Structure 1
């Protein structure tokens, strides 16, 4: 992605042009507070032109008009800069969306193909993508295994493995196969691919307002109406009181308009949209796409985080760690039988058993071509796999490996006796957080293989950080309770759900939500889709299935589950930034009263705290400051207030002291400095 820095030449030029376009009524009235400024400025413009055409003497109409126009421009500019930074990502994604030639086949294994363009593909078409070719559209790998370069989508240069079956079968259009080949079933229509949807999400970000943003906008507009009524009713009161005390308080329309604009919350109203858009843009820089601003806000308020164990907390593939032979069986004998039963097992666990036996005892894969071998595949019903070797029609070796209950039933069905001491060894392995796999030959048990889950490094510290943020972490796993408890303790999560099903995940989320908590869920599989859809924040891994990506309201392009910390921080940062600038804006408005009210009604008498030079300069200084404070705060609105884990009371106090106090003090110096400059140049 060609990132645009905050003050890059291209971004500034693009934002200036967009800001000018936003002077049209269509854009102006999308922000109710700034719409009142737009209407007042338009009336003042018409009045000024009329005065010029009729040779009516001008007072301060021209300078006030110019600075009100700049006030509107700066408000448009803040929003335009935020939009331009987000659209830079969309522009880079569009470059990957070009039509490409692809090989359409009738079935897996076909070498005969029809060469068509990606725009001609339909859902359920099967394509063959070989090394060096671009994947034409979103799909599911139905055969093959290959390295895929996804840098066009994720920005990461390291290739990823895509293969049929499991949760690594989803592929994205516009990515490139760099080794081997894949048979892919197309799952999206032209123009509806994942990249197309991401571009739509990013470009549509400027038009989406969150519920909190809408509520704050309504509040600001209500305050604007109140100040409008206050200024309107103040006009006859000022005229009457002025006549009674011998003062000319019959001010021009430009002065009353200046008073109104300085009183209403223009600062936060001008920056409100930019704050929301920049929150989504900051997520994009972390390679996370949010489907709505509501999801970003919800991330800042979540209380509970649910995470899958496999691939999220652990590295994803269990590895053979140790052989535990039973009495009367040597470890080498167990290793030999374990390797033999795993030669046809292409799962990562099966391959790790073969490797462990080779490393410990130099047991090499043997030539079984001369023997009559029947491989026993793993099934969900038997929960075991193995091998049977025949010689002259008789079984000479009958090896099985699988779950403890399955092996126990198998041994007992052959007339053997299962020693309960083996159950204790199995339970001890489970307590360590590992998975026990039993190996038998005939009706006797040979021993147990320990498959160890590898917890990802640094997660315990990151979970502790989430805890300081007030977020509970819950691990979800299909493991038995003993294994789940051990891994939960090693990873540092607060709670776990063992032997979890999709229904159990959904039930837990609904229970937490019923108690008033906001829930985030991270998942990548089809079985995670219901939970992702139910969660307030559903983060789907880009490496996951198409169903999971459709169900989540955020997509992590890097498929890094620990990134949720950054997601939460950005959500909290967005809420804190909005609160901080709202506090600053209100305090800022209060301070401006001390400049403009004395200037209007007490000709800079005893209440002239700022010691301003004269009424005209005081009014113009307040209007100029009111305009300039908007661009001064744009960098803060876009970068966000730095998040530091604190209690709500501490955060509120910090907000009040820094931004409330700053909002009160800053205008005194700013308005006074502008007044001195105006006096110095005789304006």
Structure 2
């Protein structure tokens, strides 16, 4: 899936104009009402603008006009942050929209014939026929045939995917081989791609519970400071006329309320959903992304998630009087015609063991594997019969029940591996060790989750011995062996009853109930439609380990919001000590406040303008952090909070003092300090 870099929008003149226009459009009161902080700023801007007009031709005109302009700039930067974040989503959606083609479909009729129909006219329940080389015209489920599908237009992955009866297909992908009969599962405008585009664009983005709570808190703080400033007006009139002008009091209010986080809050949430999309995951709501950041327990399937997906041959274990080379050569011949991943791994291991640059050609009669015989092999022209398969089946075929073979097989099984016996002409040569291979780097990631306080649980249908070995190698905290679908639901409910949030992955219809039950359900795009409908996230690349990336993005969203909130509040605290002493230090009865004027701000107007300009400039300075997200480290919540307060809190106090002092000196050069 195409990704949009931060600089790409800036280089596109059309996109830049669109962002600027959208930023101006969002200044409409109807759009700003959802943000109480910036709505108050807009009301204040209107008030100062009215006073500027009334002061035309008077000494206060330029000051009132300057305050109005600075407030307008503050509003613009706040709406620009939101528009910029939304533009990233629109650009990603446009890359998806370009994958749609005006395909035509062969619609099957009741008499078995077919007729051409434009793809947009396909309705739910229609049966269509798709041949090799054609674009799949709409979302559906395969009811007949097996074929290879190129999903790179949707997922970005070049490897084709095999689709058969029961599998879902996505409109816009291409059938590479064979013929499929598909039943359409969506109506026009309701395809998976249409839904993805709408989700990525963020048109229906709803505020998350934490975002709503923070917005409410900011609204309360804003109301408090409105009351504070209103009560300052009669006090200022009592002490002297120099501080009674309304534009100054409006400017003071804007400096006191949390405008920084108020202007960036929406952009942080939108950017969080965009970052999830950038890793190839579509979140159906912002709630899912935020929930991912609060996850307490992650449930992962073993096969394809923790392991590479198929058991791999890792060693040849010959019986006494048999050389490893002899066993490897027999295993190679027995596996040449075996096209399964396990068979291919045996061939590769034998090739490395025998130092072969080229494989021998198949010269003989391959014996395919069947559920009845539980073995496969080859009959060579020289009369040799070579077989490999389950230990019991090979022992029965060879009429050899050697205790040494039994001991060797049990030793392999105790290590959590699967033994395959190899025999030639009734003589058993030894055992191939088949083992689930844990994905590289996964153990380190689980250690990171443990540091965050997240518990990882592996769910597998394997026996307890095999599950225990894989769990230890992977480094998960717990495991469930011989796990059935209902066991996953029971585990999720048990964790949720303890007040924990649970995440899991799945791709089958049998996973749908658990995906729906989990707080974060990541469904594979290659999975069934039931699974994709049940989950609240969809992984376009169908990589089960993507859940780990989703959790990291969710954590980053929460830490970004927390860091910028901390910075904003610290900014406000610093501004209180910078502005209020300068405003009232010249009043004789309040001269004691001059001791708090540590920056040496000379006049109330200079202090107000300096703080107001700093307040406007800090919002665009923080937009990159809101869009990219604050750097996140895997650590406990206590350490994260301490680091957050130290880095963003202390910096948030220091920066305003330096910034306001510097701006005040610059204004002094023009006679406004």
Confirm or deny a common fold (TM above 0.5).
yes
Could you list the per-position Cα deviations for residues 318-339 of structure 1 after superposition, in whole angstroms to 9, with x for gaps in the alignment? 3567798999999999999999
Is 1:21 matched with 2:25? Answer: yes
- 1:664 is matched with 653
Report the 3-state secondary structure (helix = DSSP H, G, I; strand = E; otherwise coil) of the residue aligned with 1:506.
Answer: helix
Whole-Å separation in 1 of the counterparts to 2:671 and 2:180? 77
C-alpha displacement of 1:66: 1.0
Cα distance in 2 for partners of 1:648, 1:330 equals: 56
The 5 Å alignment of 1:251-650 reads: 251-319=244-312, 364=362, 378=371, 426-436=409-419, 451-603=434-586, 606=594, 607-650=596-639
Residue by residue over 1:187-241, the C-alpha shift from the partner in whole angstroms, topping out at 9 and shown as x without a partner, is 222221211111111123673211001001101111111111111122223323x
Match 2:38 to one of 9, 34, 39: 34
2:79 aligned residue (70, 76, 81): 76
Normalising by structure 2, report the TM-score. Answer: 0.84
Q: How many residues align?
A: 645
Change (3 A) 1:277 1:267: same
Q: Kindly state the Cα deviation for residue 162 of structure 1 after the two structures are TM-superposed.
A: 1.8
CA contact (8 A) 1:610 1:672 kept: yes
Bigger mean CA offset, 269-278 vs 190-199? 190-199
Tell me the equivalent position of 1:390. Answer: none
The 1:403/1:249 distance shift into structure 2, 3 A limit, reads farther
Among 48, 53, 59, the residue aligned to 1:49: 53
Higher mean alpha-carbon deviation, 660-669 vs 249-258, is at 249-258
Please give the per-residue CA displacement for 1:43-85, whole angstroms capped at 9, x wherever unaligned: 3323433444x97963621111111111111110111111111
1:4 positional shift: 4.5
| Structure 1 Cα separation of the partners of residues 144 and 538 of structure 2 | 25
Asked whether the 8 Å contact 1:341–1:401 carries over to 2, the reply is: no
Q: Supply the distance in 1 between the matched residues of 2:653 and 2:451 (Cα, whole angstroms).
A: 32
Asked if the contact 1:338/1:353 (under 8 Å) is kept, the reply is: yes
Q: 1:140 to 1:55 in 2, by over 3 A?
A: same
Change (3 A) 1:71 1:322: closer
1:552 deviates by 1.6
Do the aligned partners of residues 255 and 433 (structure 1) sit closer, same or farther apart at CA in structure 2, a change above 3 Å counting?
same
In structure 2, distance between residues paired with 1:547 and 1:209:
27
Question: What is residue 132 of structure 1 aligned with on the other side?
Answer: 133
Instruction: Name the stretch that deviates more: 174-183 or 94-103.
Output: 174-183
The match for 1:186 among 159, 168, 184 is: 184
Q: Of 190, 202, 205, which aligns to 1:204? A: 202
Question: Residues 127 and 325 (structure 1 numbering): CA distance in 2 closer, same or farther, change over 3 Å?
Answer: farther
- 1:224, 1:264 within 8 Å by CA — same for their partners in 2? yes
Question: What is the match of residue 3 of structure 1?
Answer: 4
- RMSD (CA atoms): 4.0
Aligned position for 2:170: 172
Q: Is the 1:462–1:562 Cα contact (8 Å) retained in structure 2?
A: no
Match of 1:230 among 206, 228, 231: 228
1:152 is aligned to 153
Secondary structure in structure 1 of the residue aligned to 2:6: coil
Residue number in structure 1 paired with 2:381: none
User: For the residues of structure 2 that align with 1:638 and 1:573, how far apart are their CA atoms?
Assistant: 11
Q: CA deviation at 1:661?
A: 1.1
Alpha-carbon contact 2:303-2:309 (below 8 Å) kept: yes
**Secondary structure at the residue paired with 1:516?**
coil
In the other structure, the counterpart of 1:652 is 641
SS at match of 1:60: helix
State the distance in 1 between where 2:544 and 2:469 align.
Answer: 20
Please list the CA deviations of residues 425-470 of structure 1 after superposition, one character each: whole Å capped at 9, or x if unmatched.
5543332333357899xxx999987543333333233323333333
SS of 1:41's partner is: helix
Aligned partner of 1:392 in structure 2 is none
Tell me, yes or no, if structure 1 residue 122 matches structure 2 residue 115: no
Structure-2 change in CA distance of 1:45 and 1:671 (3 Å): same
Give the secondary structure class of the aligned counterpart of 1:561.
coil
Which stretch has the larger CA shift, 358-367 or 549-558? 358-367
Say which of 63, 68, 73 aligns to 1:65: 68
Q: Tell whether the 8 Å contact from 1:300 to 1:572 is kept in structure 2 after alignment.
A: yes
Give 2:380's aligned residue.
none
Normalising by structure 1, report the TM-score.
Answer: 0.83
Going from structure 1 to structure 2, the CA distance change for 1:226 and 1:453 (only over 3 Å counts) comes to same
SS in 2 for 1:507: helix
**What CA distance in whole angstroms lies between the structure 2 residues aligned with 1:106 and 1:425?**
60
Shift in Å, 1:494: 2.2
Moved more, 131-140 or 620-629: 131-140
